[in-house]
Chains A and B, each alone.
Chain A
Amino acid sequence: MFPELNNLLNTSPDSVEQGTLTLLCDAGTDGSFLVHHFLSFYLKANCKVCFVALVQSFSHYNVVGQKLGVSLTSARERGQLVFLEGLKSSVDVVLRAEAEPHPLGFLREAGAGNLQPLYEFVREALEPVDCREAAWRSPVLLVDDLSVLLGLGVGAVAVLDFIHYCRATVCCSLQGSIVALVHDSGDAEDEESDVLLNGLSHQSHLILRAEGLATGFCRDVHGQLRILWRRPSPPTAARRDRSLTFQYKIQDKSVSFFARGMSPAVL
């Protein structure tokens, strides 16, 4: 996890907000550093994490995680991490017997895709098993990323339904959190992507949007991060700033954030 990002979000592994949906969004740049941040953050916070990883292999996340101070291998072994490796298990879907339900079973279907088996997988992974109930803090669902599902032929509404059910179970029933990454392609013709992004935005409590600089690539400033807090629970007088924007630079083991125009390289 990146301590500077924790400060900006006003969170720490000791005090984890529960029952929230955090939307990670990237436009014109790679927002996966946010995924690595939240993965290591929740593992350090002693939460039970179900990671639906559709984009990279387990070893990739493990290598980056080790730089950030967590070992995914040992987390998986002690039962804190349930890892669905999309790249590997998608081959299983094609090769295994058809009768057994598989979380990625929608790959075999001819229709618009039904993500109910994936939801059942998440539910079984995060629902507390009785004797070990007190072992972990709140459950967390992490998805990298949802735009891949659109590319695999699942409709935007089906993805929204999947997140809806995950919210009902993980956020409301189990008082856990969800973090999901969606790409904003910026393509005006990609309606499904827009529906997914906007639909999820309206349901989110926190939106982190990583954007590339409008002026193009820069060696010292890799992009801009916009933080939007939505839906404060009963509107109280003391509300945090609703929207903040920072620029960032990704380094080997950390990410540094600074106010716009205040990059150390410039000053």
Chain B
Amino acid sequence: MLESVLALGGLVLLRDSVEWEGRSLLKALIKKSALRGEQVHVLGCEVSEEEFREGFDSSINSQLVYHDLFRDPLNWSKSPGPVTIALDSLSWLLLHLPCTTVCQTLHALSHQDSRPGDSSPVEHVHVLGLLHGELHGPGPMGTLSALARTEVTLSGTRSQASAHILYRRPQQRPTHETHWFSILSDFGVDLQGVSPLKSQPHPDPLTPPVDPTTHLTFNLHLSKKEKEAKDSLTLPFQFSSEKQQALLCRGLGQATSHIFYEPDAYDDLDQEDPDDDLDI
């Protein structure tokens, strides 16, 4: 019976119920496949590896590759410390998978440290990807460049390798650095120097600075006498202390002003009601 079930290949569906469980039959089919010399991969979600391997003898167990999704499928037990994922290479992935899939996966991988509502401290996930520059067009290259927080471009002159590093820190301007380095035999890095921050192009040393005030048809310079006259000039609307004194002391030589008034016969000089319009 087992052979006829396995004969056709493809997908074999085992439907069981609570009363009649199917795991024993699954294990019998696995044993049959293993005895035929096939390697068996098990994606285990429902039982532990020990329980699944129970009942198989050692020869069959050695052919069984168990992929454990049972122990911690939802990642509730926080893996201690930061994780680094190295992709060798991204170029291979880009050649075999659509660019969108690769970018979405990279984004999901590298943003695992920002889970909403997670009160535990941020776990840093580092994703290192190797990309061969000549293989891809400007589209995929630009997309991956936009995804990356740090981008290292390798080049060099003659015998010296250089790494041009672009840092994209969040909410800050991107900064550049260029390091000259070599890799040692034990994969240590020997740094030979850092180039200065390249924020402006270097001025060309061949052309001297030009003085724009030469060869003019008008005079921009002041003689010494003209400078003195200029400095001693009081501006008309500037309230200097001299002006203040001049305004205040104007009445020194003059008599104070006085008003002479002779009232008519009809004048009613009522200080309380000078216009005579109060109706009391």
> Measuring CB to CB, which residues of chain A are less than 8 angstroms from any residue of chain B?
99, 101, 116, 119-120, 161, 164-165, 168, 172, 198, 201-203, 207, 228, 230-231, 233-235, 243
A165 lies within 8 A of B24 (CB): no
Instruction: Kindly provide the distance from the CB of A214 to the nearest chain B CB, expressed in whole angstroms.
Output: 19
A228 — nearest CB in chain B belongs to which residue?
B19
B76 lies within 8 A of A116 (CB): yes
B70 — nearest CB in chain A belongs to which residue?
A168
Given A165-B72, A233-B55, 13 additional A-B pairs, CB 8 A: A99-B119, A101-B119, A161-B73, A168-B48, A198-B18, A201-B18, A202-B21, A202-B46, A203-B46, A231-B21, A234-B54, A234-B55, A243-B19
Q: Which residues of A contact B51 (CB under 8 A)?
A: 172, 233
**A99-B119, A101-B119, A119-B76 given; A230·B50 CB < 8 A:** no
Cβ of B149 < 8 Å from any Cβ of A?
A: no
B19 lies within 8 A of A202 (CB): no
Instruction: Kindly provide the distance from the CB of A177 to the nearest chain B CB, expressed in whole angstroms.
Output: 14
Cβ of B5 < 8 Å from any Cβ of A?
A: no
Cβ of B216 < 8 Å from any Cβ of A?
A: no
How long is the Cα–Cα vector from A201 to B16 in the complex, in angstroms? Answer: 12
B73 — nearest CB in chain A belongs to which residue?
A164
A202 lies within 8 A of B18 (CB): yes
Q: Which residues B45-77 have CB closer than 8 A to chain A?
A: 46, 48, 50-51, 54-55, 70-74, 76
A235 lies within 8 A of B24 (CB): yes
How long is the Cα–Cα vector from A207 to B18 in the complex, in angstroms? Answer: 10
Q: How many A-B residue pairs have CB under 8 A?
A: 42
B56 — nearest CB in chain A belongs to which residue?
A234
A168 lies within 8 A of B72 (CB): yes
Q: Which residues of A contact B50 (CB under 8 A)?
A: 172
Chain A: interface secondary structure? helix
Q: Which residues of A contact B73 (CB under 8 A)?
A: 161, 164
How long is the Cα–Cα vector from A144 to B179 in the complex, in angstroms? Answer: 64
How long is the Cα–Cα vector from A120 to B23 in the complex, in angstroms? Answer: 30
Report which residue of B51, B54, B76 has the largest number of chain A beta carbons within 10 angstroms of its beta carbon.
B76
Instruction: Kindly provide the distance from the CB of A223 to the nearest chain B CB, expressed in whole angstroms.
Output: 20
Report which residue of A202, A203, A228 has the largest number of chain B beta carbons within 10 angstroms of its beta carbon.
A202
Q: Which residues of A contact B76 (CB under 8 A)?
A: 116, 119-120, 165
A231 lies within 8 A of B23 (CB): yes
Q: 9 nearest interchain CB pairs? A: A234-B55, A201-B18, A172-B48, A116-B76, A168-B71, A230-B21, A235-B24, A231-B21, A165-B76
Instruction: Kindly provide the distance from the CB of B2 to the nearest chain A CB, expressed in whole angstroms.
Output: 15
Q: Which residues of B contact A101 (CB under 8 A)?
A: 119
Instruction: Kindly provide the distance from the CB of A119 to the nearest chain B CB, expressed in whole angstroms.
Output: 7
Q: Which residues of A contact B74 (CB under 8 A)?
A: 116, 161, 165
Q: Which residues of A contact B46 (CB under 8 A)?
A: 202-203
Instruction: Kindly provide the distance from the CB of A238 to the nearest chain B CB, expressed in whole angstroms.
Output: 16
A sample of 27 cross-chain residue pairs with beta-carbon separation below 8 angstroms, ordered by A number, consists of A99-B119, A116-B74, A116-B76, A120-B76, A161-B73, A164-B73, A165-B72, A165-B74, A168-B48, A168-B70, A172-B51, A198-B18, A201-B18, A202-B21, A202-B46, A207-B18, A228-B19, A230-B18, A230-B21, A231-B21, A233-B51, A233-B55, A234-B54, A234-B55, A235-B24, A235-B55, A243-B19
How long is the Cα–Cα vector from A234 to B18 in the complex, in angstroms? Answer: 18
How long is the Cα–Cα vector from A201 to B70 in the complex, in angstroms? Answer: 17
How long is the Cα–Cα vector from A230 to B72 in the complex, in angstroms? Answer: 24
Of the candidates B19, B54, B71, which one forms a contact with A233 in the assembled complex, judged by CB atoms under 8 Å apart? B54
How long is the Cα–Cα vector from A42 to B42 in the complex, in angstroms? Answer: 35
Q: Which residues B7-22 have CB closer than 8 A to chain A?
A: 16, 18-19, 21
How long is the Cα–Cα vector from A201 to B54 in the complex, in angstroms? Answer: 21
Q: Which residues B166-200 have CB closer than 8 A to chain A?
A: none
Instruction: Kindly provide the distance from the CB of B264 to the nearest chain A CB, expressed in whole angstroms.
Output: 89
Instruction: Kindly provide the distance from the CB of B56 to the nearest chain A CB, expressed in whole angstroms.
Output: 9
Instruction: Kindly provide the distance from the CB of A48 to the nearest chain B CB, expressed in whole angstroms.
Output: 21
One digit per residue, 1 when the CB lies within 8 angstroms of any chain A CB and 0 when it does not, for chain B 18-39 equals 1101011000000000000000
How long is the Cα–Cα vector from A119 to B54 in the complex, in angstroms? Answer: 27
Q: Which residues of A contact B21 (CB under 8 A)?
A: 202, 230-231
How long is the Cα–Cα vector from A172 to B72 in the complex, in angstroms? Answer: 12
How long is the Cα–Cα vector from A75 to B46 in the complex, in angstroms? Answer: 34
How long is the Cα–Cα vector from A235 to B56 in the complex, in angstroms? Answer: 12
A120 — nearest CB in chain B belongs to which residue?
B76
Q: Which residues of B contact A119 (CB under 8 A)?
A: 76
Q: Which residues of A contact B119 (CB under 8 A)?
A: 99, 101
Q: Which residues of A contact B55 (CB under 8 A)?
A: 233-235
